[in-house]
Structure formats: C-alpha cells, structure tokens
Amino acid sequence: MKRFFALCILLPGLDAATFHHTAAAQTVLDNSAQKASPFVKATLKTLTERFSTAHPKFRNLAVHTNSDKKQVVCGQVSLSENKAPAEESFMSFGAAEDSEQPVVYEARTIPATLDSREANQWINHGADLEELEELGCVPEGSYRQYGDTLNKVLQDHKINTTR
C-alpha cells in the first residue's frame, strides 16, 4: 500500500519530457529502410537519440561492406520540422559496424573570404567529409575538392592581408 501511495505521488510530478526520450521513432521518407539489418536500425536509433529534439527524417539509406567485411550504412538525415523537408536540409551520414558513433556531415559553402581564426573550424568540419569518403558514403575526391577550395580561400586571404 505504501508503494502504491508513493507511486501516486511521484507520477504526476514527472513531466512529459521524461517519457518523450524513451520512445524515439525513426522516420524514413523513401522506404529505403525496408529489410534493414539490426545494425542499420541501431544506427538510426543512435541518430534519432542524438537529434531527439529535432525529430530527424532519413532517406537514401544504403548498406555495403568494407574491406574488413563489416557493414557500412550511408544515408541522409534532415532535422527540418517540415513533413517534406527541403532538399538542402539533408545532411550526409555514415557509420561502420565497428565505429562508435555515426558521422554526420552538413555541407556548407565555404565563404569567399575567411578570417584566419576560423580556419581550424573549417578544417575540423572537413574531417567529417573525409571520414564519410573513407566509409564510401560520398564520392571519392569530395574531401580533396573541399580541401582545395578551403586552401584557395585561405591563400587568397593571406595574399590580401600582406598587401
């Protein structure tokens, strides 16, 4: 009886947010998750928990094996609140069976001018693209193209500041 009484007092005090995080569902917009392996489902669950406040939407899921015979899942995720997210809201992601966390890369255009204090931020941003390329989730040469563009912007900044 005491337990029942304590439960009756505690339950109304818990807010809805407490229960919200336990039931995270994945929304796959294009049915590409049909026949998804447990690894793919776990990856989607991890990303859903990581972006729990945004209700992520997934598409273009593809699975292949790497040279170590481990599964790799690639796809795109949108954090848009719209039921039909805009094309530019999707970010590429990938994960390998032996990795800890999925890698998510938000494609952002490198500005024409860049303060040298921001260089490390852009270099670190490109590291996610490099990982996705190694996983086979983006075309080969994507990271090199990103690095070339970043180096050109930084070189132009260096030339302009020395004048």
Cβ neighbours, 10 Å, residue 58: 23
- For residues 14 and 33, the answer to whether their CB atoms sit within 8 Å is no
User: How far apart (Å, rounded) are the C-alpha atoms in residues 77 and 122?
Assistant: 21
User: How far apart (Å, rounded) are the C-alpha atoms in residues 71 and 62?
Assistant: 10
The tally of CA atoms less than 13 A away on the side-chain side of residue 82 is 9
Copy the structure tokens of residue 67. Answer: 């040279």
User: How far apart (Å, rounded) are the C-alpha atoms in residues 154 and 121?
Assistant: 13
Tens-digit pLDDT string for the chain (163 aa): 444 444 444 444 444 444 344 444 568 888 788 788 999 999 999 999 999 898 899 999 999 999 889 999 999 999 999 888 999 999 999 999 988 899 999 988 888 888 778 888 999 989 999 999 999 999 999 999 999 999 988 887 666 555 4
pTM of the model: 0.75
Length of the chain: 163
Backbone angles phi, psi at 42, to 5 degrees: -65, -40
